[in-house]
Structure 1
Amino acid sequence: MRSIHFSSKSLRIGVNLFSLLSLLFITQVAFAQSECAANFKVEGDPRNGASYLTFVTIPNLDIHSALGQIEKNALDQDFKIGAENYSGDQGTLTIVHKDSLLHPEKVFPIMIGAYEATNRLAITLRLNPGGTVSSDSMRDFMCSMLSKVTMDSAGVARAAEARAQTHSDEIINVKAPDLAFQLDKALAIHAAHPEYVAGLYIGKVYRIDGQVSIPIGAHAVGAPSFDIQYITSKFRLLPGITRGIDSRTAITCRTDPKQAGRFIALRNDDYATLIAKVVQLEGTTLYLDCHFEN
């Protein structure tokens, strides 16, 4: 068997190249941290929940890779991953963090946005009412999340590793009653902290199938959009009778004005399969932005 020998010169070249790449990475991280710190802002009254935001600019930003890397950073810190969603050259990701600095039982959602046109990667969050965290601690946390994102093969690998665990960039197929009863259960378990449930659902994208109900007056003349609701009752066949079981949660769709004609054509009890992004959970009503897929 032929043995392989490396000359001292080739080894020096390899070591120098590795050192150069390491220095380049360290320089990129340092620059990102500096820019992130300069862009850091605190807004709002802490009694209502202060808001924190900052961003970095990353040349040749790949929004899919960037958000996947943020996901990996979040998983490494035991965050819960919400939804990853894309529209044109923009992408968003929601992660949920236990508010261990304040009240361990409370949580707050953290929103990350990636914008290809401006090469900007941004992070925003709002604390729970009355919550306080030092600006320095919050800035360090937010900048550590953003500054680790790189547009290289290592970054692509980190993003792929995260998505293999979470599948957060996928559309979730669900029947309307099933989604409503999932929410019923979650809201019952976390009755004292509905913001926790909201953080888990806001941003998720579903392919919802079911029958719809059209509220009276929904088709107001000139209205660019209107709300429709999915019927969320389940029917259980009992000996001799069939009875409906109503969920406590309502699923309300804000219709896409570009597809107004198709939505207006729907009648009560018609079936509809819609792509729906969760935008709000208010009380026991889940609000979604909805459109026909085809």
Structure 2
Amino acid sequence: MKVIPFITSIILLATAAQINANTCEKNFVAEGDPRNGAEFSTSTTINDLGSASALGQLRAIALADGFNVLGEESTGSQGTLTIEQKNGRHPFLIYLTAVNKGTAAEVSIRTKLNRRTVAKPEDIRAGMCGMVARIKTGAEGDAIAAAARAAIVPEPIVEIQPRWLAKDIYRLSKRKTAEMITAHYKGKRYLLDGTIGSPLENEGTIELWYKVTIDRNGILQTLDADESTFWPPIVCRMAPEARARAAKLQEGEFAKLTGTVSHYWQGSPSKLVLKDCRFE
């Protein structure tokens, strides 16, 4: 007779997983023209689950399924994990979001395929809802999430000249969108050293723009020198305590800074933006 509560709990857990999967499938939406990039999304609410636990578990699930895990942005009540489908010639981004709803978490998944990439909606739905169905609740889920986060290895600060970072971004921009470049670089930390343009005030901070163009008359007269006119500037948005010092610099002076990539902006000019920059 003592096995009945145990058996009952297993049945309830299995039933809950099935309900979540069914809700996920019911809420699945496919829209858009594949010639422009078809969009897919779904969501479901899971009881006895927090957003941090959901995202930690989804990190483990994504890694187990062979996705690239690119980054996570979280607050106390919600967060988004960005992963990349790396199979095939044209990888695409997938956003996994979890939001606290009392003692439950609303879990949603969305993606937009690359232009002219065709996928069967039923295959996308099965993949998305298959991930949701594997999320565990309660202490079991918390333990899985904690183990996934404990396995994260912090990325070291990369020391690189601004112009070579700009070259890497430029080459990447030929085959990836600004959104994908941001997803790949966001959160990476760099130590940069080079000459800057005149400090600029923008949105309440000081920006230092590294010069990346190679002098055509210099000793580095190569294909890089010709191409460098198209390389995107590397822009450092200064941390509060470093703004006064940054504002005193003049065009052509040197600045050695550490900063964290915020985003890549594609426009005129395109630029890679780092935040919380400080002097070394």
Q: Considering the TM-score relative to the shorter chain, is it more than 0.5?
A: yes
- Per the alignment, residue 42 of structure 2 pairs with 54
User: 3-state DSSP class of the match of 2:201?
Assistant: coil
Cα 1:130–1:146 change in 2 (3 A) is same
Once residues 251 and 54 of structure 1 are traced to their aligned partners in structure 2, the CA distance between those partners, rounded to angstroms, is: 38
How far the C-alpha of 1:134 sits from its partner, in A, is 2.0
> How is 1:165-204 mapped onto 2 (pairs within 5 angstroms)?
165-167=151-153, 170=154, 172-177=156-161, 181=164, 184=167, 193-194=175-176, 198=180, 201-202=183-184, 204=186
How far the C-alpha of 1:41 sits from its partner, in A, is 1.8
How far the C-alpha of 1:137 sits from its partner, in A, is 1.8
> How is 1:152-171 mapped onto 2 (pairs within 5 angstroms)?
152-167=138-153, 170=154
* Partner AA of 1:202 in structure 2: H
- Contact 2:57 2:141 (C-alpha < 8 Å) held by counterparts: yes
- Segments of structure 2 that go 5 or more residues without pairing to the other structure are 214-218
Matched, 1:138 2:124: yes
Cα 1:200–1:225 change in 2 (3 A) is closer
Once residues 205 and 185 of structure 1 are traced to their aligned partners in structure 2, the CA distance between those partners, rounded to angstroms, is: 17
- Per the alignment, residue 216 of structure 2 pairs with none
- Contact 1:107 1:196 (C-alpha < 8 Å) held by counterparts: no
> How is 1:207-218 mapped onto 2 (pairs within 5 angstroms)?
207-211=189-193, 218=200
How far the C-alpha of 1:174 sits from its partner, in A, is 3.0
- Per the alignment, residue 229 of structure 1 pairs with 209
Matched, 1:127 2:113: yes
How far the C-alpha of 1:276 sits from its partner, in A, is 3.4
Per-residue displacement from partner, 1:19-68 (whole Å, max 9, x unpaired)? 22321221221121122223222233221101111222233542222112
Once residues 29 and 85 of structure 1 are traced to their aligned partners in structure 2, the CA distance between those partners, rounded to angstroms, is: 26
User: 3-state DSSP class of the match of 1:116?
Assistant: strand
Matched, 1:90 2:75: no
Once residues 16 and 99 of structure 2 are traced to their aligned partners in structure 1, the CA distance between those partners, rounded to angstroms, is: 19
Once residues 125 and 146 of structure 1 are traced to their aligned partners in structure 2, the CA distance between those partners, rounded to angstroms, is: 15
Per-residue displacement from partner, 1:130-179 (whole Å, max 9, x unpaired)? 11222222112111112322232322232244335443xx465333538x
TM-score normalised according to structure 2 size: 0.71
Matched, 1:110 2:94: yes
Cα 1:35–1:144 change in 2 (3 A) is same
Cα 1:93–1:45 change in 2 (3 A) is same
Once residues 263 and 69 of structure 1 are traced to their aligned partners in structure 2, the CA distance between those partners, rounded to angstroms, is: 40
How far the C-alpha of 1:200 sits from its partner, in A, is 8.5
How far the C-alpha of 1:86 sits from its partner, in A, is 2.1
- Report the identity percentage: 23
- Segments of structure 1 that go 5 or more residues without pairing to the other structure are 1-11, 234-241
TM-score normalised according to structure 1 size: 0.69
Per-residue displacement from partner, 1:177-217 (whole Å, max 9, x unpaired)? 38x747856876x7874359936843731343334766558
Once residues 201 and 284 of structure 1 are traced to their aligned partners in structure 2, the CA distance between those partners, rounded to angstroms, is: 20
Matched, 1:79 2:67: yes
Say which is worse superposed, 195-204 or 146-155, in terms of deviation.
195-204
How far the C-alpha of 1:110 sits from its partner, in A, is 0.8
Say which is worse superposed, 192-201 or 57-66, in terms of deviation.
192-201
Say which is worse superposed, 117-126 or 141-150, in terms of deviation.
117-126
How far the C-alpha of 1:85 sits from its partner, in A, is 2.5
Say which is worse superposed, 153-162 or 276-285, in terms of deviation.
276-285
